[in-house]
Structure 1
Amino acid sequence: MFEGNNTDHLRAYLSSKTGLFTSVRKRDGRVVAFDPKAITRAIAAAGRDSGEFQDDMAQRLTVKVIEYAYQMLTTEQPSVEDIQDIVEQLYGVEVSPTLVSEITADLDAEVAAWRNRRLDPVWPIVYFDGIVVHVRGASGRVTPHTMYVALGVNLEGKKELLGLWLGESEGAKFWLTCLTDLKNRGLNDILVACVDGLAGFPEAIRAAYPQTSVQLCIVHFGPRGTALRQHLRQPGRDRRLEEDLSRRDSHRGRASAR
């Protein structure tokens, strides 16, 4: 991150601007008088926490803030102005667009390497789910999108995030694209795939992994069980399954009460 002239660039920029500050805008929007000692105290505290204190700690902290802000907004490429605003609100320090672009370019390479990394060929369990996130688009408007998540359990029993994909909404067709990506990265076999009740999802999994056993999430199975119970209550139906469902719900209720 600090290769090249990044640190020198930031140091020179801050040095040229420090004497010009008369006020800063705080995180809550208030404008207060600029106090260099406040920044010095913050840097000293950070130095004590990390076990070191160096003259260029201010530059390092500023770069870390930009990196952190970018990671927070990684669902869609943030604008340079977005990151500049966050840095100003946190530290009252302006950062040049050129420096922001250099740092985010480094992060883009790291994210791409993670997304394309090779995976183990066999995973005993993989959980697939879609999470709704709100994304600010190029127009500035915030809209709901679906973050497709694949979380695997490896042969040693450890969990690992296998992939993240962003789509406009959740659908089995897009899931098939995600599954194909996993296969292209070396994941050849999944023993059990845990999914929700999305229509067409089991078929998409079997298209990519024909031998995989698909397990429906119990949270989504519950409502289906209730509907089945209503069906079984019709005259002439075998009531044994309804009784089993009732015992299951009763057991879950007692477990929750504990």
Structure 2
Amino acid sequence: MDSQVRQGTTQLIEQLLEAEMQAHLAAGWNQRTQSRRGYRNGHYRRWLRTPHGVLQVAVPRCRQGRLDCSAIFDRYQRRIADVERVLRHAYLLGTSTRATAELAEQVFGGCVSHQTISRLLRWLDGQLAAWRNQPIAPVYRVVYVDGMQVDVLGGDRIVMLVCGQRQDEQLDLLDFCVSTGEQCRQLLGELRRRGLEGVELFVSDESGAIRSALEEVYPEVPWQHCSFHRLSALRDDIGPTEFRDAMLAEAACVFRCPSRQAAVDAALAWARRWKASAPWAVQHFMTDLTDSLRFYSLPEDWWRRVRTNNPLERLIRTLRMRLRPMGCFHDHPAIERAIFGQLLRWHKIKLTHNT
């Protein structure tokens, strides 16, 4: 920005501050009046970041009390709203805090640390807390649970996400957390406390932590083992053999049968056909196969949607792609801010769950 514009902006701000001081003292320079409430005491310097660059502003000081500069800039906030909004939006577009700090330096002038950017992003904490305290209406027939790995200083962490699907196929994120097995139970327990009832089916992979938490918090709700994950495990069990593709193709047909009984019959026929070729793979696939056939308990128009965890997997793939440029996170709050900000930005989070 041209220096003349910065100079003019600085003069305008200082004139406004002088007017504030005159109103505060109820007297002008060297004015003798009975209504005077104090005396001037020079100036002090403040640095103010604006869209025009970094400005050095002379703030008037008085002997009695302190001038309220809130009309111009907050006492503890040196960046005006326009600058903050740009920096926050840059972060939500998928840049790291360091990259956002570099952007601020290039665009607005001056040096901004990545710690300062992190502090600017704490506005998300209040929105996240409010969102997590909202009641959840019983409108979700199927709920998906899955996790994604996130890079954190000191070691990777798993973020558990819970999504609900409505009758119209709309997918809403209900909550998430940086998880351990215990936190997964707490997450589901909190969802139940907030009103997540009437669920007819939970869908996830075969994670022991997820399944244990579901059995404890929602023991009455059936669990669907994602058929895609079951087929992926079968592929690994078969190994690189010449009959792998044919064996997998026939196994996949089990989950496309017109009824649950037809699926069971198809699975038994498949097992008899391939048992001699890959006995361990067949045994593993058939173990608890009914867990992957729970989707047949729902109406037929739901089968394609709920036999796998794909709706949530697609969301996770997009989220992972958007988080990758942010690099490694420093702590759990930083992860939660990034995820919440991204999902809020592209409308995967509803600010209310009661509609």
TM-score band w.r.t. shorter chain? 0.5 to 0.7
Asked whether the equivalents of residues 134 and 143 of structure 1 are also in contact (C-alpha less than 8 Å), the reply is yes
**Shift, 1:189, TM fit:** 3.0
- Offset, 1:150: 0.6
Listed one character per residue, the Cα deviations across residues 98-119 of structure 1 (whole Å, up to 9, x for unaligned) are 9858743433211222222221
Amino acid at match of 1:214: W
Q: Distance in 1 between matches of 2:233 and 2:118?
A: 50
Q: 2:109 aligns with which of 73, 76, 93?
A: 93
Could you tell me which residue of structure 2 aligns to residue 65 of structure 1? Answer: 86
Equivalent residue for 1:160?
A: 172
Aligned to 2:141, what secondary structure does the other structure show?
strand
Does the CA-based 8 Å contact 1:87-1:95 persist in structure 2? no
Q: SS where residue 156 of structure 2 aligns?
A: strand
How far, CA to CA, are the matches of 1:239 and 1:153 in structure 2? 32
C-alpha contact 1:84 1:94 (8 A) present in aligned 2: no
Greater shift, 83-92 or 201-210, is seen at 83-92
State whether structure 2 residue 55 is matched by structure 1 residue 16.
yes
CA distance in 1, matches of 2:120, 2:94: 14
The offset of 1:144, in angstroms, is 0.9
After superposition, the Cα gap between the structure-2 partners of 1:16 and 1:223, relative to the gap in structure 1 and judged at 3 Å, is: closer
Structure number with the bigger relative contact order (C-alpha 8 A, sep ≥ 6) is 2
Against the structure 1 CA distance between its residues 223 and 245, is the aligned structure 2 distance closer, same or farther, given a 3 Å change threshold?
farther
Q: Give the deviation of 1:210 after TM superposition.
A: 2.2
Say which one has the larger Rg: 2
Q: 2:149 aligns with which of 118, 125, 132?
A: 132
Q: Please give the alpha-carbon distance, in whole angstroms, between the structure 2 residues aligned to 1:133 and 1:117.
A: 26
Contact 1:128 1:149 in 2 (8 A): yes
Q: Report how far residue 206 of structure 1 moved.
A: 2.6
Partner of 2:330: none
Partners of 1:157 and 1:12 in 2: CA distance: 43
Structure 1: distance between partners of 2:208 and 2:187: 16
Q: 1:146 aligns with which of 158, 163, 174?
A: 158
* Equivalent AA in structure 2 for residue 64 of structure 1: R
Segments of structure 2 that go 5 or more residues without pairing to the other structure are: 1-47, 57-79, 239-246, 248-266, 276-284, 286-355
1:240 paired to 2:269: yes
Supply the AA of the counterpart residue of 2:85.
Answer: K
CA distance change for structure 1 residues 106 and 95 in 2, over 3 Å: closer, same or farther? farther
Match of 2:59 in 1: none
Shift of 1:122: 4.1
- Counterpart AA for 1:161: L
Q: Which amino acid aligns with 2:123?
A: D
1:120-160 deviations in whole A, cap 9, x for unaligned?
Answer: 1242111100100112xxxxx35311111111102332110
- Could you tell me how far apart the structure 1 residues matched to 2:99 and 2:49 are? 15
User: 1:45 maps to which residue?
Assistant: none
The number of residues matched between the two structures is 178
Distance 1:130 1:12 in 2: 40
For the aligned residues, what is the CA RMSD?
4.1
Q: In the aligned structure 2, how far is the partner of 1:182 from the partner of 1:84?
A: 34
